[in-house]
């Protein structure tokens, strides 16, 4: 690949542009081969990067290899996910066989320490009676192939938690555009703009595309990842672990994910989120004790909760802006 001209490289692998962009490598002559380009860089420039010619070439090869692996991910047609019960902490059997279809939201509720996160972990790892709970997870009614569980090429699950931190030293726009390129998305720049636009609608305070990832607040980082997961990630299953305290517009975040026709499971203490789902799983002593379908009466209560939540959000924003309540 290093023997391709830069023009050929960018034409065949659009995401390669980000290797040059993120590393501050300007391109003036696209007819040079990649290896000639690297070998003609000023030594002092490489010294400032902390690399030599051979090191930069290895860095290029590693970047392209990792991006190609991501691009090999197969889009999987997931129609359903089934949870077959195991046992609770006392060894009592869970009388559960729940089929979740794409487009559904399932909420997981229970006291702190009851086992909500353990259920999410079983789903993430596609448990086959080989975790402490003994649960089994089926995809489309069947046991998923072994390589689906442990291979990055079959990334079934995206997980969002309230604790998210970035370590990459690039700005928001470069990060999202890099992800768009890795998915071979058409109009990657436009996709990146959409992700940032929706992220700002979810975040408590907006941020600019050139904001460094490491400068984002916790709420801004989670808003970005929700928008990125909804619009760019090909993972058909989304697991959300207690984002009610994440500082984002959680109702709009759910709407965005629902519109992408994904299977969404949420562990939450928030009654607003719990009643937003199609069903809720009640977790006690590490096991699923009940499965409750959201009723029409509960949906009426949900409307009242949303009204109250809007009032509280209005007060919160006014106080944040320094207003005095009278």
Q: Which domain holds residue 290?
A: 80-163+197-294
Can you tell me which residue has the tokens 């702190």? 112
Instruction: Quote the CA–CA distance of 137 and 122 in Å, as a whole number.
Output: 8
Edge-to-edge order in the sheet of strand 279-284: 157-161, 237-241, 263-267, 105-109, 279-284, 287-293
| Backbone Cα Rg of the chain | 23
State whether 105 and 159 are in the same domain: yes
Based on the structure, what is the number of domains in the chain? 2
Instruction: Quote the CA–CA distance of 273 and 243 in Å, as a whole number.
Output: 10
Residue 184 within any structural domain of the chain? no
State whether 84 and 66 are in the same domain: no
State whether 212 and 267 are in the same domain: yes
pLDDT per residue as tens, the chain (326 positions): 888 898 888 877 777 877 887 788 888 888 989 888 888 888 888 887 788 888 888 888 888 887 666 555 445 578 999 999 999 999 999 989 999 998 899 999 999 999 999 999 999 989 999 999 999 999 999 998 877 776 555 567 887 766 666 656 788 988 888 778 766 666 777 888 999 999 998 887 889 999 988 888 888 888 898 888 888 877 889 898 876 665 677 778 888 887 778 899 999 999 998 998 999 999 999 999 999 999 999 999 999 999 998 898 889 888 988 999 88
Residue-level pLDDT at 111? 94
State whether 133 and 262 are in the same domain: yes
Residue 130 within any structural domain of the chain? yes
Query: What are the angstrom distances between the C-alpha of 229 and each of 15, 37, 83, 160, 195?
Result: 19, 35, 23, 9, 9
Instruction: Quote the CA–CA distance of 57 and 251 in Å, as a whole number.
Output: 46
State whether 14 and 156 are in the same domain: no
Which residues 6+ apart lie within 8 Å of 81 measured at CB? Answer: 99, 100, 123, 137, 138, 139, 237, 263
CB 14 within 8 A of CB 179: no
Q: HSE (CB half, 13 Å, CA atoms) of 228?
A: 21
Residue-level pLDDT at 69? 63
Residue 214 within any structural domain of the chain? yes
Residue-level pLDDT at 74? 44
State whether 141 and 61 are in the same domain: no
DSSP letter, residue 167: -
Here the tokens at position 18 are: 């980000």
CB 76 within 8 A of CB 158: no
């Amino acid at each position: 690949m290093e023997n391709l001209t830069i023009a050929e490289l960018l034409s065949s692998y659009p995401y390669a542009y980000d290797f040059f962009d993120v590393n501050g490598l300007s391109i003036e002559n696209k007819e040079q081969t990649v290896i000639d380009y690297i070998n003609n860089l000023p030594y002092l420039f490489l010294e400032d990067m902390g690399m030599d010619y051979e090191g930069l070439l290895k860095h290029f090869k590693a970047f392209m290899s990792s991006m190609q692996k991501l691009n090999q991910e197969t889009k999987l047609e997931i129609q359903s996910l089934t949870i077959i019960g195991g046992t609770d902490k006392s060894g009592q059997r869970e009388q559960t066989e729940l089929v979740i279809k794409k487009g559904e939201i399932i909420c997981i509720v229970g006291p702190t320490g009851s086992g909500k996160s353990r259920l999410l972990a079983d789903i993430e790892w596609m448990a086959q009676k080989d975790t402490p709970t003994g649960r089994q997870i089926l995809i489309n009614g069947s046991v998923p192939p072994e390589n689906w569980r442990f291979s990055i090429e079959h990334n079934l699950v995206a997980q969002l938690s309230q604790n998210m931190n970035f370590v990459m030293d690039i700005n928001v726009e470069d990060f999202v555009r890099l992800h768009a390129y890795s998915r071979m998305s058409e109009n990657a720049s436009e996709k990146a703009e959409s992700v940032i636009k929706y992220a700002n609608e979810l975040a408590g305070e907006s941020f600019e595309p050139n904001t460094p990832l490491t400068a984002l607040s916790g709420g801004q980082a989670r808003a970005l990842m929700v928008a990125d997961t909804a619009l760019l990630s090909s993972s058909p299953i989304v697991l959300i672990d207690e984002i009610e305290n994440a500082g984002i517009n959680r109702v709009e975040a759910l709407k965005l994910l629902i519109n992408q026709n994904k299977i969404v499971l949420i562990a939450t203490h928030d009654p607003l989120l719990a009643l937003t789902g199609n069903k809720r799983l009640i977790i006690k002593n590490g096991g699923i004790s009940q499965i409750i379908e959201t009723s029409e009466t509960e949906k009426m209560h949900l409307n009242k909760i949303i009204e109250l939540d809007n009032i509280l959000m209005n007060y919160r924003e006014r106080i944040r802006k320094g207003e005095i309540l009278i």
